[in-house]
């Protein structure tokens, strides 16, 4: 969880949006954050 959060805050808002979009569908499964 921490690595993903740090990346989101480090990258610009534009990239953060894409990161969140990728995380949203993977979050319910719990594999998205675990993989990263």
The tens place of each residue's pLDDT in the chain, 36 residues long, gives 445 555 555 555 555 555 555 555 555 555 555 554
Structure tokens at 10: 């480090």
Give CA–CA dist 25/28, Å, rounded.
7
Domain count, the chain: 1
pLDDT at 30: 53
pLDDT at 34: 54
pLDDT at 31: 52
Sequence length of the chain is: 36
pLDDT at 15: 57
Quote the longest CA-to-CA distance of the chain.
Answer: 26
For residue 24, the enclosing domain spans: 2-35
Decide if 18 contacts 7 (C-beta within 8 A): no
pLDDT at 1: 44
């Amino acid at each position: 969880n921490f690595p993903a959060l740090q990346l989101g805050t480090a990258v610009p808002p534009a990239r953060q949006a894409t990161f969140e979009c990728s995380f949203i569908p993977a979050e319910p499964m719990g594999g998205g954050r675990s993989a990263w």
